[in-house]
Amino acid sequence: MEYLNELNPVQKEAVENYTGPSLVIAGAGSGKTRVLTYRIAHLLNQGVRPYSVLALTFTNKAAREMKDRIANVVGQEQAQSLWMGTFHSIFSRILRYEAEHLGFDSNFTIYDTQDSRNLYRAIIKEMQLDDKVYKPNEVQNRISSAKNNLVTSAAYANNAKAQKADAEARKPRISEIYSRYSQRCKQANAMDFDDLLLQTNILFRDFPEILAKYQDKFKYVLVDEYQDTNYAQYLIVKKLAEQHKNVCVVGDDAQSIYSFRGAKIENILNFRNDYPNYQLYKLEQNYRSTQNIVNAANSIIHKNKGQIQKESFSDNEEGDKIKIVKALTDHEEGYLITNDIFETRMRSHCAYQDFAILYRTNAQSRIFEESLRKLNLPYKIYGGLSFYQRKEIKDLLAYCRMAVNPHDEEAIKRVINYPKRGIGATTIAKLQDAASQNVLSMWDIICGLHERPYGLNAGTISKIAKFTNLIKGFQAQLATETAFDLANNIANSTGIIKELYNDRSPEGVSRHENIQELLNGIQEFTQNALEEGRELHLPNFLEDVALLTDQDNEKDEDRDKVTLMTIHSAKGLEFPYLYIVGLEEELFPSQMATSTQQELEEERRLFYVALTRAEKKATLSFAKSRYKWGNMSYPRPSRFIREIDERFVEYTYEQEPEFSGNGRDNYQSTTEFEVPNSPSRFQQKRSFSAKPKLNQPVSRIKQSSNQNVDPNFTPSDPDSIQPGMVV
């Protein structure tokens, strides 16, 4: 049990006492994820069967890394049999086993955000509502939030509060949209991401014997990043752990950054009510970052009220101060940062993968991409329009989805006339109408056209018949062909490959390459599945793709590259050299998030998450001018820069009055330098701190003891899904 020596005394205690309810609550970088990982390894070492352990992580990547680590201790076979993954992936697996109880088929499709938005758009149109009032993304968010609070469409219709809020927002028909949407998903045998959690809760509520089966199965339940669970997730964990009460959750209230998706910090605070005899572990030593970084991060989060009191210090080297970089323009910010990466890498002999650039919104990546390309620095970018969202990829996958679940309406609509086979928009509208009227799927309608033609002429019906026969042909091969063979066959026999090959425009060539790339990916999946003895058919591949998260697209050749990502997707990760860019008012904190104290505190937590990703050195930057919506804007530097205790920062320029009161007289020498490849020469000042160095970390900051919950939070009865819940 050598692994126990890799833990400090409190961590070790949390690993060894693996029965009963435990809450590990601690600051960033203190080894929470390590505790969870080692606790699982320890469980297995003590003879607990791997299939009775349920471990929930925030990304698939995190689950994979944990599994690898555990495999090192207990061996591959045991690690592979753990039930470990994201909430969505674990519960979609359970839902496939139990689908029939809920009126779904086990081969249901998982609609991604875009599919789901398309369906909302179609419904809004059918109901002849104004899509400027009923904006599809707003409707989607509203209903998603209802689902995360376990308000079903029927419950929503009876929820006086929701109705009143919708009426006040002049959108009184949201409830009707919600109910149509739910019905259409059911006809299409499809669930969206929120449904995966909602339906699991419905399953556990309505089928006590099924709940009992899983309660019995999962003897140990563990959850990472618990502060970002929403109500639907909280309730699943609570119910599953009810019997054995061996539940271990780890989290940091100061890192709760998903309240816009319904995450509830209160879940941590409720833990003590749900399990009065719980064990609390507080980890205080940060192993990730230098003292300066930990101290700076503490001084920031200290500004938030209502954090759970905890301490955090680092015994690592003191390290460099947090460097603040000012750029005249957004482009110059790109040059300065990428150039710094270039130089630091030379100087410190480190790898590209040691660097990350974090930003508040995806749109900020473009300028950094440009300058990285100019300097020839390899980079990988997470988020944004991912590979799987591209049109040609979605088209081919739509055929694949239809082979698995022909009722998938969003897939049918994509490909019924692609490549073109003469089935026009009016015909498609008629078919969809017929489906709605008869409460059937579009597939049911098109397969029954010879009996009920819905006014379509013989020519059209025969074109549609060709399409249905094509799909039926694929279905027949599902069980026998591997994912790759079938996908390859689909790409060829539908004519997609030919169509793209014939388009010799640069876009056409790149689409063709993307399809090849997708097929390569499917081949790789098939090969890996074969080697690891997993299922290697098309449904299995589609399941993996549907559940990809932002971080999961990494390929082997991507390893040694500079990382570009939003702060939200950097959660749980660490990088030796970190750049947080665009630190400007209205960008970060975001313009959308400064009207209430709560919103601002969430932005501040986001900044805390960002800063605590850094191991050795953190650099913050802002630009004095930036193009926004096509106009030049002149933002002020972010308040967050000012909020860091001045002892831990170093300004690389002379501060302006707007920045007053924060170490302004620290400057001693000025140097002028030119950044290679930079379009402009500009002046910078080098700073030296006049203050004596701190021997003692000032980090043991007592945080506000106001640890109570948000006064707006109304605790709900977690044993039932209630129509009365506030949405």
Binding residues for ATP, by number, are: 26-33
Place of tokens 């500079």: 562
Confirm or reject binding of residue 59 to Mg ion (CB under 5 A): no
In the bound state, the residue with its beta carbon closest to ligand ATP is: 31
DSSP calls for 193-230? HHHHHHHHHHHHHH-HHHHHHHHHH-SEEEESSGGG-B
Using CA atoms, how far apart are residues 669 and 651, in angstroms rounded to an integer?
Answer: 12
Cα–Cα distance measured from residue 89 to residue 544, given in angstroms and rounded to the nearest whole number: 8
225 in catalytic set: yes
Closest CA to 134 of 161, 173, 168, 163: 173
Which SS3 state, helix, strand or coil, does residue 75 take?
coil
Select the residue interacting with Mg ion from 572, 589, 635, 637 (CB under 5 A).
Answer: 572
Among 255-263, 538-546, 572-580, 709-717, the segment contacting Mg ion (CB under 5 A): 572-580
Site string for ligand ATP, 22-41 (x = CB under 6 A): ----x-xxxxxxx-------
Q: How far is the CB of 579 from Mg ion (least distance, A)?
A: 21
CA–CA dist 342, 97 (Å, integer): 51
Whole-number Å distance between alpha carbons of 342 and 359: 19
Q: Which one-letter DSSP state was computed for residue 310?
A: -
Choosing among ligand ATP, Mg ion, none, which partner's interface includes residue 34 (Cβ < 5 to 8 Å by kind)? ligand ATP
**Least separation, in Å, of the C-beta of 418 and Mg ion?**
43
- In angstroms, the CA 240 to CA 212 distance is 8
d(CA 190, CA 546): 12
- The DSSP annotation for 104-140 comes to --TT-EEE-HHHHHHHHHHHHHHTT--TTTS-HHHHH
The single residue of 321, 360, 613, 616 carrying the catalytic annotation is: 613
Angstrom distance (rounded) from CA 482 to CA 592:
48
Residue 535 bears catalytic tag = no
Is 560 catalytic? The answer is no
**33 near Mg ion, rule: CB under 5 A:** yes
Confirm or reject binding of residue 353 to ligand ATP (CB under 6 A): no
Choices 32-40, 171-179, 496-504, 717-725; region in contact with Mg ion by CB under 5 A: 32-40
**Nearest distance from residue 573's CB to ligand ATP, in Å?**
8
Name residues whose C-beta falls within 8 Å of residue 216's C-beta, 6 or more positions apart in sequence.
243
* Residue of 255, 307, 427, 619 marked catalytic: 255
Q: Which residue is nearest to Mg ion (CB)?
A: 33
If one asks whether residue 689 binds ligand ATP (CB under 6 A), the answer comes out as no
Q: Which of 98, 112, 192, 224 is catalytic?
A: 224
**32 classed as catalytic:** yes
The listed partner (ligand ATP, Mg ion, none) that binds 401, CB under 5 to 8 Å by sort, is none
CA–CA distance, 113 with 129 (Å, rounded to integer):
21
**By CB under 6 A, is residue 11 in contact with ligand ATP?**
yes
Provide the mask over 253-292, with x wherever binding to ligand ATP is found by CB under 6 A and - wherever it is not. --x-------------------------------xx----
Q: Helix, strand or coil for residue 503?
A: coil
Nearer to ligand ATP, 186 or 310 (CB): 310
Q: Which does 362 bind (CB under 5 to 8 A by kind): Mg ion, ligand ATP, none?
A: none
Binding residue for ligand ATP, selected from 572, 576, 589, 635, defined by CB under 6 A: 572
Of the residues 98, 195, 225, 253, which is catalytic?
225
Q: How far is CA 569 from CA 61, 384, 563, 564, 565, in A?
A: 11, 11, 11, 10, 7
> What's the one-letter identity of residue 434?
A
Task: Judge whether 224 counts as a catalytic residue.
Answer: yes
Applying CB under 6 A, which residues contact ligand ATP? 6-8, 11, 26, 28-34, 252, 255, 287-288, 572, 574, 612
Active site residues: 32-33, 224-225, 255, 613
Binding residues vs Mg ion (CB under 5 A):
32-33, 572
